[in-house]
Amino acid sequence: MTGELGQLALCFALGLSLVMAAAGLAGSRADKTNNGAATARAIANGSAMGLLVFVALAFGCLVTAFVTSDFSVADVANNSHTLKPLIYKITGVWGNHEGSMLLWVLVLSLYAGAVAAMQRGGERLTSAALGIQGLLAAAFLAFILFTSNPFLRLDPAPFEGAGLNPLLQDPGLAVHPPMLYAGYVGLSASFSYAAAALLVGEAGWARAARPFMLIAWIALTCGIALGSWWAYYELGWGGFWFWDPVENASLMPWLIATALLHSALATEKSGAFSTWTLLLAIAGFSMSLIGTFLVRSGVLSSVHAFASDPTRGFFIMVLIAGAIGGALALFAWRAPTLQGGAAFDTVSRETTLLLNNVFLVAACACVFVGTLYPLALDALTGTKISVGPPYYALTFAPIFFALLLLVPLGPRLSWRRADWRTALRPLYPALGLAGLAAIVVLALASPRTLAGTAAFAVAGWLIGASLVEARQRRGAQAAAFAAVLAHAGLGVTLMGVAGTTLWRSEALDVMGPGDIMHVGPYTLRFDGVTAVDGPNYQAQRAHVALIDGGRAVAMMEPEKRVYPAEGQDVSDTAIRTTILRDLYLALGDDRGGGRFVLRAYVSPLAPLIWLGALVMALGGALSLWGRLMVRAPAPAAQALPAE
């Protein structure tokens, strides 16, 4: 029953999204007597809520099918198993293509509901935004119903499901996809507002869309950090970022969303860069769509895999072409009519925001080309190349590094015209901290590297500047500290990245009971392996003693788990952290006679990578708080400095 109910709910949702699109666009017209614009707006608002209800109902049906292990639903049979713990039955809903697309549409509907409920930026703008959001929802619902239906039945139903990829059976990955989708799809709201602004000619869209941009950015920041953390502790190689196309697909929208947040500040303040900000809003969601295409079409595993079953990929491609092409055509048609042309001096906040955008767009271009070039080359010429970390180290790293150097300047300079001497003089202590950080690193770190020294100097510069800024803003509203926190978070993450990348030590050995291993400052004793049964796996659990002064001070227990239902094995790492340093153990192959391969890593400062991201997200949350709670016309963040 639940399957049919879900199917029916999806069909209703598709119908409602079409109504919402038509009514929203009709309601965006100026009110004249008897043209029904007001009625259309009411219908659009109502259908947004209805859409949310029906998509939530469909999603609930799928969750029910997974929780009750209803294997007559093909999606459940292919991706679940009765022995799976309840939490992974639930998270298994989005651990597969069909379910994750339904989650995507659920998030889209949530944003549509929020747009309708909040009515930011006036009735006509909201109505047009709902119209665009309705078009997007209709396209994705059609995609689900026609190519990726999660409610298809199996007859006869199998007795047992095929199980979920064990790598996905992890709490980190339970939260990661919904978080990332909240970010990806959150950019649809600013996309819809931008397209609506082009349709209606409304200048206040940047302020109206700001909370949605912030929510999307915060969610993307957290989602990317969670994904990276998961890769760190789950994949068992101590790495935190692999420049994998799937990771890149989430980084590109983040880079554009970051540029958008900054550019939209100037647009809100003085109408500067108004067309550019519109273009960024379109580009941000376009990156989300392209990311979805990359991940969902199968094009990544191989160009040939895509060609052999092109239905889904082709559908998404048409959908993307429609959304991006349509938005760009609208942009080309309407943007010239918009008022543009702000006036500001060379030394001003506007200039720094422009530079921020230049570097972020170039950084995004880097990831874009690095991800898509090999695919295009393979498709066009059959030549296969790999674009790995060395490419990004030579292109992305210098561009992003240049951006980081400039970050502290922006908040110091006033709008329109600034005197750089008076504005930058308070930053001398930050320069001092940068020098101090460089000296400390040169004194302590081995080996000494130019990259490491530079990274710590820049981290000192970023954090020092944020401290200066925080001191100057004492007593201001919470939102005034948003940029302060976000920029400091960048510095914290930078230290973690540099520490882990440049000074990681590792050891790898075949260990028998009683064997000793040295890694970094630690001494480890291998105390053998015992067999442990989990709910749906069998594990070999190693017992490794951390030795200090001849005594075992702690036990670490990395595991190697075999999931019989899925026929896979997964390593479960053991990590001991002091925040300043991670000791990381992964158990490898059984070499017979109680001897196992043991890998150990010491990653200095590794936790700072994710701690920094958390600080950045907190910065975003402060700004959001300021926007939603304090209904002041201009947030305090912009009132400073010296105006």
Partner 1 sequence: MKRARFLLLFWLLAAPAAPMLVSDVVHAAPVADTFPDPAMEARARNLQRQLRCLVCQGESIDESGAFLAADLRHLVRQQLAAGRSDRQIKDFLVARYGDFILMEPPLKPYTWLLWLAPFLVLGIAGGVAALTIRRARSRAMAGVEQMTDL
Query: Which member of 306, 344, 481, 537 binds partner 1 (CB under 8 A)?
Result: 344
Name the residue nearer to partner 1 (CB basis): 337 or 381. 381
Amino acid identity, residue 183? G
Give me the residues paired with residue 604 across strands. 581
SS3 assignment, position 302: coil
Output the smallest distance, CB 328 to partner 1, in A: 17
| Contacts of partner 1 in 405-424 (CB under 8 A) | 416-417
Q: Is 309 in the site for partner 1 (CB under 8 A)?
A: no
Q: Is 366 in the site for partner 1 (CB under 8 A)?
A: yes
Query: Which member of 35, 301, 339, 577 binds partner 1 (CB under 8 A)?
Result: 301
Q: Are 201 and 338 in contact (CB under 8 A)?
A: yes
Q: Are 347 and 418 in contact (CB under 8 A)?
A: yes
Count interface residues toward partner 1 (CB under 8 A). 64
Q: Is 562 in the site for partner 1 (CB under 8 A)?
A: no
Rounded distance, CA 326 to CA 319, Å?
10
Output the smallest distance, CB 508 to partner 1, in A: 6
Q: Is 172 in the site for partner 1 (CB under 8 A)?
A: no
Query: Which member of 335, 338, 470, 510 binds partner 1 (CB under 8 A)?
Result: 510
Output the smallest distance, CB 351 to partner 1, in A: 6
| Contacts of partner 1 in 593-622 (CB under 8 A) | 597
Residue 574: both structure tokens together: 């053991």
Q: Is 302 in the site for partner 1 (CB under 8 A)?
A: yes
Query: Which member of 350, 469, 559, 582 binds partner 1 (CB under 8 A)?
Result: 350
Helices (H), 201-300: 205-234, 245-270, 274-296
Only one of the segments 64-72, 207-215, 393-401, 484-492 lies at the binding site for partner 1 (rule: CB under 8 A); that segment is 393-401
Only one of the segments 74-82, 135-143, 322-330, 508-516 lies at the binding site for partner 1 (rule: CB under 8 A); that segment is 508-516
SS3 assignment, position 547: strand
Q: Is 572 in the site for partner 1 (CB under 8 A)?
A: no
C-alpha torsion 255→258→260→265, nearest 10: -160
Rounded distance, CA 275 to CA 334, Å?
10
| Helix (H) / strand (E) containing 523 | strand 522-533
Residue 180: both structure tokens together: 């990332």
Q: Is 174 in the site for partner 1 (CB under 8 A)?
A: no
Q: Are 260 and 282 in contact (CB under 8 A)?
A: no
Name, in order, each residue with C-beta under 8 angstroms of 466's C-beta and a sequence gap of 6 or more.
Answer: 408, 484, 485, 487, 488, 491
Name the residue nearer to partner 1 (CB basis): 203 or 235. 235
Residue 209: both structure tokens together: 């869309």
Instruction: Name the nearest CA neighbour of 472 among 567, 408, 516, 394.
Output: 408
Per-residue interface string for the shown chain with partner 1, residues 238-267, x marking contact by CB under 8 A: -x--xxxxx---------------------
Output the smallest distance, CB 515 to partner 1, in A: 14
Q: Is 388 in the site for partner 1 (CB under 8 A)?
A: yes
Q: Is 345 in the site for partner 1 (CB under 8 A)?
A: yes
Output the smallest distance, CB 432 to partner 1, in A: 30
Q: Is 341 in the site for partner 1 (CB under 8 A)?
A: yes
Query: Which member of 236, 410, 464, 620 binds partner 1 (CB under 8 A)?
Result: 236
Output the smallest distance, CB 343 to partner 1, in A: 4
Instruction: Name the nearest CA neighbour of 353 among 638, 643, 619.
Output: 638
| Helix (H) / strand (E) containing 191 | helix 171-200
Rounded distance, CA 295 to CA 94, Å?
13
Rounded distance, CA 282 to CA 370, Å?
21
Amino acid identity, residue 248? N
Q: Is 568 in the site for partner 1 (CB under 8 A)?
A: yes
Instruction: Name the nearest CA neighbour of 383 among 450, 446, 303, 439.
Output: 303
Helix axes 171-200, 274-296, angle to 10 degrees: 140
Name, in order, each residue with C-beta under 8 angstroms of 505's C-beta and a sequence gap of 6 or more.
Answer: 519, 520, 601, 602
Name, in order, each residue with C-beta under 8 angstroms of 27's C-beta and a sequence gap of 6 or more.
Answer: 37, 38, 39, 40, 41, 42, 43, 44, 123, 124, 127, 128, 130, 131
Name the residue nearer to partner 1 (CB basis): 289 or 511. 511
Q: Is 391 in the site for partner 1 (CB under 8 A)?
A: yes
Q: Are 19 and 43 in contact (CB under 8 A)?
A: yes
Q: Is 397 in the site for partner 1 (CB under 8 A)?
A: no
Name the residue nearer to partner 1 (CB basis): 346 or 578. 346
Output the smallest distance, CB 226 to partner 1, in A: 15
Q: Is 365 in the site for partner 1 (CB under 8 A)?
A: yes
Only one of the segments 120-128, 321-329, 335-343, 427-435 lies at the binding site for partner 1 (rule: CB under 8 A); that segment is 335-343
Query: Which member of 74, 209, 303, 354 binds partner 1 (CB under 8 A)?
Result: 354
Q: Are 452 and 463 in contact (CB under 8 A)?
A: no
Q: Is 237 in the site for partner 1 (CB under 8 A)?
A: yes
Query: Which residues are at the interface with partner 1 (CB under 8 A)?
Result: 165, 167-168, 235-237, 239, 242-246, 272-273, 300-302, 304-305, 341-346, 350-351, 354-355, 357-359, 361-363, 365-366, 369-370, 373-374, 377, 381, 383-391, 394-396, 399, 416-417, 508-510, 568, 571, 597
